[in-house]
């Protein structure tokens, strides 16, 4: 592994100087404690961070967050902001799973009261929400025209059709509908891949979890987010845009791979393929990407609907009486036009977040009015059997990370290594012994996602909290998991 020079700037702040390689336009900036940085040295994370620093029009630094790990082209757990006019847009800086993200629902149910029925809830969820390899929803099929409208309009389209409450869309990033979605920019294949997959969880690290509040660090902020007491039951939905988004990324990666020469862009890795922000190729990608963003919002919206139905069926109350309100819905893989201060000047920039969560501080106009005093809710899912965290966006995120925090634990073991170390059946049994029900169709997937294969999520969250980019608000522990 090529050694990448690092200068320690502060306790949790490291820099890769531009002198490391010719062509770096800005330094690499890595946020991590000593143990996390050691982990990053073990793969290509830091090298990839320095590659991102080559992007034309990039501002300040290429950011790698505490959960950073090796991806393809861009590291996962990274942020790059490029100039509105002179910068580039890179599909790889968003990733294949466009708007992979997390939605959190709160309830007014106490975990002790749910205990006798939790297995029943999990089984109904497992039945209603298609998960796993090739998951398709047979009862909920759209035709191509409907799919085009859905990706243009986002979550509100489903809500108008009875799959949600009127207030749901307003409780999502972008109000559940990213502007600029243009279905004409989608390939036939992207539409085909999307048709059968609205409302499915998919496989890999995606999950649907019933949790209980395990610790509250900031009672006032927690209350603002609807988290009132220990043992309160919450539901977390982690999924993205499925094959639809993957195809959009693939399509435009190929397009931009073919235009690099035309636009005289040279980069150290083919997966960084990009196009000037004002070029037709970049505009087309944005139109298609927004469709995939909306597809993912709809995906989490329909899962929300089936979660509410499942709770109603098992517990026998109308879902409104149990809460099941959306706290917020955040994207992990997205590119957005935002305004950030760079060297004292307000600039419009394309913020690419790949495995990163927007974490706007108190007072931001972009977040729902009721959160403007507390900061934007951020959810950092743990791994199966470990805690997930609720954070609140904090002021230093604007200075350090273009308004971002980490998105998860970040892998430390490859899937092959995890399979050598764990067996799915054992993982399931040991979680059961700790009171966690896990339902899945894939025992191999269970081994791959064993919590030992990931970084310690607490450590990742603690770095965020210390840096003041995302403040720890509450910790959630799983009770039941439907794993994709």
- Residues forming contacts to other proteins in the complex (CB under 8 A) are 1, 43, 69-73, 76, 95-97, 132-134, 136, 189, 192-193, 195-197, 202-204, 242-243, 246-247, 249-250, 253-254, 257-258, 269-271, 273, 411-417, 419-420, 441-442, 444-445, 448, 484
Nearer to other proteins, 97 or 209 (CB): 97
Report, in Å, the least distance between residue 461 CB and other proteins. Answer: 20
Nearer of residues 76 and 331 to other proteins, judged by Cβ: 76
Q: Please state the length of the chain.
A: 484
Q: How far is the CB of 107 from other proteins (least distance, A)?
A: 30
CA angle 189, 76, 203 (to 5 degrees): 50
Give the H or E element holding residue 429: helix 424-433
Q: Is 69 a catalytic residue?
A: no
**Shortest Cβ distance from residue 286 to other proteins (Å)?**
19
Closest CB 57 distance from other proteins, rounded Å: 22
DSSP 361: P
* Four-point Cα dihedral 302, 305, 307, 312, nearest 10: -160
Tell me whether residue 251 or residue 338 sits nearer to other proteins (CB atom). 251
Comparison of 83 and 269: residue with beta carbon closer to other proteins: 269
- What's the CA gap between 271 and 219, in Å, rounded? 43
Torsion-angle region of residue 216: left (phi > 0), alpha (psi -120 to 50) or beta? beta
- Look up residue 193 and give its two tokens: 């891949």
Q: Compute the least distance from the CB of residue 72 to other proteins, in Å.
A: 3
- Give the nearest distance from C-beta 284 to other proteins in angstroms: 19
**Residue closer to other proteins (CB basis): 13 or 413:** 413
Select from 306, 325, 350, 356 the least CA-distant residue to 170.
325
Q: Which of 206, 305, 407, 437 is catalytic?
A: 407
Residues 6 or more apart whose CB falls under 8 angstroms from that of 247 comprise 187, 189, 190, 193, 194
For residue 353, which of 291, 299, 293, 295 has the smallest C-alpha distance? 293
First to last CA, the chain: 33
Angle at 240 between CA 161 and CA 87, to 5 degrees: 115
Please identify, using beta-carbon distances, which residue of 76 and 227 lies nearer to other proteins: 76
Please list the active-site residues.
407
């Amino acid at each position: 592994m090529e050694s990448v020079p690092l200068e320690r700037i502060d306790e949790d702040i490291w820099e890769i100087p531009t002198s490391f390689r010719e062509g770096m336009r800005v330094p690499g900036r890595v946020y991590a404690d000593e143990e996390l940085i050691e982990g990053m040295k073990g793969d290509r994370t830091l090298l990839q961070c320095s590659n991102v620093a080559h992007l034309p029009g990039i501002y300040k630094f290429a950011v790698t967050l505490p959960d950073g790990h090796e991806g393809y082209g861009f590291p996962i757990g990274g942020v790059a902001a490029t100039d509105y006019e002179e910068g580039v847009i890179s599909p790889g800086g968003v990733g294949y799973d466009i708007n992979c993200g997390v939605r959190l629902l709160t309830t007014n149910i106490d975990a002790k009261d749910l205990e006798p029925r939790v297995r029943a809830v999990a089984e109904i969820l497992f039945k209603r929400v298609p998960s796993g390899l090739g998951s398709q929803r047979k009862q909920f099929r759209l035709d191509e025209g409907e799919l085009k409208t859905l990706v243009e309009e986002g979550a509100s389209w489903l809500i108008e059709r009875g799959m949600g409450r009127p207030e749901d869309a307003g409780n999502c990033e972008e109000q559940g509908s990213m502007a600029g979605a243009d279905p004409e920019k989608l390939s036939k294949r992207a539409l085909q891949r999307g048709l059968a997959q609205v409302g499915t969880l998919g496989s890999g690290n995606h999950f649907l979890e019933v949790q209980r509040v395990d610790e509250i660090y900031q009672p006032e902020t927690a209350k603002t987010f609807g988290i009132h007491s220990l043992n309160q039951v919450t539901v977390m939905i982690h999924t993205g845009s499925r094959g639809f988004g993957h195809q959009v990324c693939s399509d435009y990666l190929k397009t931009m791979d073919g235009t690099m020469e035309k636009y005289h862009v040279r980069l150290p890795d083919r997966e960084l393929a990009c196009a000037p922000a004002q070029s037709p190729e970049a505009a087309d990608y944005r139109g298609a990407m927004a469709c995939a963003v909306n597809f993912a919002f709809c995906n989490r919206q329909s899962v929300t609907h089936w979660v509410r139905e499942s709770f109603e069926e098992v517990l026998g109350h109308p879902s409104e009486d149990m809460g099941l309100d959306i706290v917020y819905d955040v994207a992990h893989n997205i590119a957005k036009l935002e305004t950030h201060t760079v060297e004292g000047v307000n600039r419009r920039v394309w913020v690419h977040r790949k495995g990163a969560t927007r974490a706007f501080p108190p007072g931001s106009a972009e977040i729902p009015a009721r959160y403007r005093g507390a900061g934007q809710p951020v959810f950092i899912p743990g791994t199966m059997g470990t805690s997930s965290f609720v954070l609140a966006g904090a002021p230093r995120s604007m200075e350090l990370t273009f308004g971002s925090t980490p998105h998860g634990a970040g892998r430390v073991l490859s899937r092959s290594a995890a399979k050598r170390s764990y067996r799915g059946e054992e993982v399931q049994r040991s979680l059961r012994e700790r009171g966690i029900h896990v339902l899945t169709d894939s025992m191999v997937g269970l081994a791959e996602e064993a919590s030992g294969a990931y970084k310690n999520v607490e450590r990742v969250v603690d770095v965020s909290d210390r840096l003041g980019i995302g403040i720890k608000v509450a910790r959630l522990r799983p009770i039941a998991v439907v794993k994709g």
